[in-house]
Structure 1
Amino acid sequence: MAGRTAHDMTEGPIFGHVLRMIVPMSFGILAMMLVGIVDTYWVGTLGTAQQAAVQMSFPVTMLVMSVSIGLGAGAVSAVSRAAGRKDASSIPRIATDAMTLSLLSVGAVSALGIVFVEPIFRGLGASDTMLPHVVDYMTVWFGGIVLIVGPMVASNILRALGNAVIPSLMMIAAAIFNLILDPIFILDDVFGLFPGLGWGVSGAALATVAANALTFAMVGWYLVFREKLIDFGWSDLGEVWHHWGEIARVGLPASISNIFNPIAMTVAMSGLAMARFGDAAVAALGVAGRIEAFAIVPLFALSACVGAVTGQNGGAGRLDRVREAFRSSFLFCIGWSAAIAVVLWLCADLLAAAFLPSEAGQATAVFYWRIVPLTIAGYGITIAASAGFNGLGRPGHGMAITAGRALGLMVPGVLIGAIWLNAPEGVIWGVAFANVVSGTLAGLYILTRAPMTAKHGKARKVPTAPAAAGEDAS
């Protein structure tokens, strides 16, 4: 298998491979989540309009990042299945084509974003006081998006080969660098100790871009010189198009799948659901969800890693190991959910008092933490299942599972719950309902009826040289 630190996950304990990747990925994800919180704090010191501008940019940045996450999933699928087939010679070419496709795609998005940033956010309703700050922030962000996406795709290539430690170290390094640069780039004066650059919201975006540029340089060096996973030789366009098609075949549905859950949460927060019960209820749902997100970081890490395990074993034709990868992942979701449910149940009152000022908001958050975590295994199962099917080259299955939970169950669940109980608790019951039903149905289907074989795109037709004159063509 290509790469010095690549792991052959077609042999050895399945759960051992999964756990070996989950632990470092969890630390990497936690570090990046911490950056988001610190960014919000420093920008908040600039003023309300600046903080609102950065918050308003979130849906657009999430949409763009969903595309890059999908392309990363496509890269994981193609590389891991090649690794499972023991097709080491093609892995550097696939990895190279995955990087070029991602960089060209986000490069086009970058150019369009810079040109149309003002009309985009004016159309989204940015106020006259907010709009200049949005333009300042997003112009820098769009300008540097290639440097943000590049390390993500490179890390996905390494994870496809079973290496989760280096990507996690890169994420932590980027987070530390970002945390150091934030106050220097954003503020005029840093703690009264030394002058900052005072670039405001532009500085916040630039700190993110600069941190990721450093990470891109490090992971790029690692891919090129350490792992020899980038092929600088010329490849005919037919092979490049074939690899791009195989990556996009998984990447595009995966990108769409990443949009479903934010849509469902937007509906849950909207005036049709939680917002109808006042600002305190909306704040409670937001805080409860953020705390829960920290608590289930290992489930996010699982979804980032399981596709490599299913991809390698599917590529090797080890169907028994593919099913075991799903089964052990689901058991991990159930075990972690149970542990987190106990912790949040015991700490609910303390957390609510610490983060929410109103008694009504505190009561809503406490109710959430004592109900939803009991069901969060279902959410974990759906995201792990989706990632596992992406690894097998079956993104349609993953998209159906994700859409089923978010759009088929959660959206109607929170709307019906809000109307039926006419209280915030109805929205919370709707979230819990979606988790339980989606997780149960997905788990039963996958462990009893779902195909475990890897699905490959159409084989590339390689032109054959014409027979020499006088040669027997029979």
Structure 2
Amino acid sequence: MSVRHADHNHPFLTAPVGRLFPSNALPMAVVMSMGGVLNVVDGIFVGHFIGSDALAAVSLAFPVAMVLSALTTLAGGGMSSLMARHLGAGDRTAAGRIFAQKHGLALAMYAGLVALWAVVGPALVNSMAAGNPEVAGLAQDYLRILILGAPVQMMLGIHADALRNEGRAGLIAALSLLVNLFNIGANWLGIVVLGLGISGSALGTVAAQTLGLALVVGLRARSGTLLPLSTLGAQSWWGSWSRIVRLGLPLCLSFIGIAMVASIVILSLQHAAGAEYDALVAAYGVVTRLLGFAFLPQMALALATQSIAGNNAGAGRTDRVRATLSLAMGVAFLWCLSVTLVGAFAGATLGRWFSDDPAVIAAIAAILRPMLLLYAASGPILVLALYYQALGQPGRTAALTLVKPWLLTPLLILTISAVIGKSGIWLAFPIADTIILGLAAMIGRDALRRADPQAVTMEERA
């Protein structure tokens, strides 16, 4: 696919990077942050209006919720890498083909998810509840609703990713603001007014996602510049699944790795926490929401990098790709440093947002301090990982996103907690960060000196 086919009036290819990056990253940060605000507010509703058992149930449900996000990312990440390069090279037909094929892949993944949940889901939740049937029942009710609504979440993710790669980040931000405000209101209605418990939270989420999907589909149907909805009927939904999966798999597995780490933390607490187990599990659930909120702006920066770098790589603009990478890594570092400082000095204040229980509040502050020691490195590493994904290099993306959650953190949690007890669980996180930072430094140095965005395989260009 030659650079001569590229549309050089495309703002991704012509606007100064110093203006282009914030114009895409800021709307995406609004999108991601609103999702984080929703999780935080929902946690406050659950903790104050339902109770600590419900907060513990949501904590147990977190790994499965992360798997749902991972499946959405599996298709979205792979499609974004391919779609952005096709659009940058001016090949809308190929971009539309990938768009259609992603829909088929998402439906196939949902069928597999339902079958897997039917076989292992209830037993898994019961084992993680450590013999507390009330917590297990709440968690299963919550997850059952989320899984039934998963197709809506996946399809909404598909259309949001497509709009981002078509340069409509501002539109996504406006829709996200509307949908998340609706979600907060729906959760308030379900939890506080109707008294549906955490099932009200799950129903509110699915209702908001349904509204969001209806809005983005309606906007695409009326637009004369976006890829038309008729593409979904004109193109086969089968094909290129292996390429989409290969490119999306590293980031997908990183989300599943986060879910696995959360499960290992909960299982380790069962053995090490003793009488403090319930308070620590509730506190860890709050911490996952807080760090989830902090993670989403990082992901926004990384996704903006992916879209800009992918379009420019498709057009052969090496200079713009590298300029985008440098700017994004610097901004990500500043954001993560601010998160570290807030977590270190305001942990107890944050804890009081979610709970009135002094034990839970103290545990939140005690967990945040060690976990955030080297958090400032996580944002730049994520940006670098999605830079490689944008260039069609999933091996390097995998090295940066999978080693920590799949190998380092689980091994360190099990080893250190076995030696020094429950405090070792939280110390495992900064030690893993130190090791992955060294790996990222080696890979990043190579990116700045030798990596060429035009060095994308002919298979990925096809």
Q: Shorter chain as normaliser: what TM range?
A: 0.7 to 0.9
1:223 matched to 2:224: no
Kindly indicate whether residue 263 of structure 2 is the aligned counterpart of residue 259 of structure 1: no
Residue deviations 1:151-209, cap 9 Å, x none?
1111111112332222222222221112222243446xx3xxxxx4x655544333222
Gaps of 5+ in 2: none
Q: 1:258 to 1:130 in 2, by over 3 A?
A: closer
Q: Which amino acid aligns with 2:227?
A: L
Distance 2:141 2:397 in 1: 37
User: Does the alignment pair 1:70 with 2:83?
Assistant: no
Taking the TM superposition and a 5 Å limit, the aligned residue runs for 1:314-463 are 314-348=313-347, 350-351=349-350, 358=358, 362=362, 365=365, 368-369=368-369, 372-418=371-417, 422=420, 426-448=424-446, 451-453=451-453, 455-456=456-457, 458=459
The 8 Å contact of residues 159 and 167 in structure 1, kept in 2 or not, is answered as yes
CA distance in 2, matches of 1:135, 1:445: 42
Q: Deviations over 1:358-406 (max 9, x none)?
A: 589738825843x554522221122222222222222222112112222
CA contact under 8 A between 1:404 and 1:438: conserved in structure 2? yes
SS in 1 for 2:386: helix
Encode CA deviations 1:282-324: one digit per residue, 9 max, x unaligned.
Answer: 6665545544443454213212322112211222222333333
1:105 aligns to what? Answer: 108
- Within a 5 Å distance, the mapping from 1:15-94 to structure 2 comes to 15-42=18-45, 45=49, 53-94=57-98
Contact 2:62 2:259 survives alignment (8 Å)? no
Native 8 Å contact 1:326 1:388 kept in 2:
yes
| Mapped contact 2:66–2:258 kept (Cα < 8 A) | no
Aligned-residue offset at 1:150: 1.2
More helix by share: 2
Stretch deviating more after TM superposition (147-156 or 29-38): 29-38
Offset at residue 66 of structure 1 (A)? 0.7
Percent identity between the two aligned chains: 25
Give the conservation status (yes or no) of the 8 Å contact 1:273–1:418: no
**Contact in 1 for aligned 2:392/2:460 (Cα 8 Å):** no
Q: Deviations over 1:29-61 (max 9, x none)?
A: 222223234444555645676665554433223
Mean Cα displacement is larger for which, 318-327 or 157-166? 318-327
The verdict on how the C-alpha distance between 1:218 and 1:408 changes in structure 2, with shifts beyond 3 A counting, is: same
Instruction: Judge conservation of contact 1:264–1:411 (CA < 8 Å) in 2.
Output: yes
Are 1:95 and 1:230, in contact at CA under 8 Å, matched by a contact in 2?
A: no
Tell me which residue corresponds to 1:308: 307
Q: Is the 8 A contact 2:183 2:205 kept in 1?
A: yes
Equivalent residue for 1:471? none
Q: Which has the larger radius of gyration?
A: 1
Aligned equivalents of 1:373 and 1:209: distance in 2?
32
If the length of structure 1 is used for normalisation, what is the TM-score? 0.79
Q: Which amino acid aligns with 1:458?
A: E
Q: Does 1:13 align with 2:12?
A: no
Per-residue deviation, 1:70: 1.5
Aligned mates of 1:128, 1:323 — CA distance in 2: 53
1:156 correspondence with 2:161: yes
8 A Cα contact 1:268 1:414, kept in partner: yes
Structure 2 distance, partners of 1:13, 1:65, is: 33
Q: Does 1:213 align with 2:210?
A: yes
1:141 equivalent in structure 2: 146
The 3-state SS of whatever aligns with 2:12 is: coil
- The amino acid across from 1:120 in the alignment is G
Q: Secondary structure at the match of 2:182?
A: helix
The letter of the residue matching 2:382 is I
Identify if the C-alpha distance between structure 1 residues 101 and 225 changes in structure 2 by more than 3 Å, giving closer, same or farther. farther
AA at the equivalent of 2:440:
A
Counterpart-to-counterpart distance in 2, 1:270 and 1:122: 14
Partner deviation per Cα, 1:88-128 (whole Å, 9 max, x = no partner) = 343333323323432x2354247537xx5486213432665
One-letter amino acid of the counterpart of residue 254, structure 2: S
- One-letter amino acid matched to 2:298: L
CA change 1:131–1:325 in 2 (3 A) is same
Residues 412, 432 of structure 2: 8 Å contact kept:
yes
Listed as ranges, the gaps of 5+ residues in structure 1 are 191-195, 462-474
* Number of equivalenced pairs: 444
- The residue type paired with residue 399 of structure 2 is A
Aligned CA distance change for structure 1 residues 459 and 307 (closer, same or farther; 3 Å): closer
Matched to 1:140, the amino acid is I
Higher normalized contact order (CA 8 Å, seq sep 6+, divided by chain length): 2
Q: 1: CA distance between counterparts of 2:360 and 2:212?
A: 44
Residue 173 (structure 1) aligned to one of 170, 175, 178 = 178
User: Which range moved further: 205-214 or 13-22?
Assistant: 13-22
Q: CA RMSD in A?
A: 3.8
Q: CA separation in 2, counterparts of 1:335 and 1:247?
A: 32
Shift of 1:217: 0.9
Seen in structure 2, the aligned counterparts of structure 1 residues 283 and 134 have a Cα distance that, compared at 3 Å, is closer
Letter in 2 for 1:206: L
Counterpart for residue 466 of structure 1: none
1:445 aligned partner, one-letter code: I
Contact 1:18 1:306 in 2 (8 A): yes
For 1:438, give the aligned amino acid: I
Counterpart contact for 1:181–1:207, Cα < 8 Å: yes
Aligned mates of 1:129, 1:351 — CA distance in 2: 27
Contact 1:327/1:447 (8 A) holds in 2: no
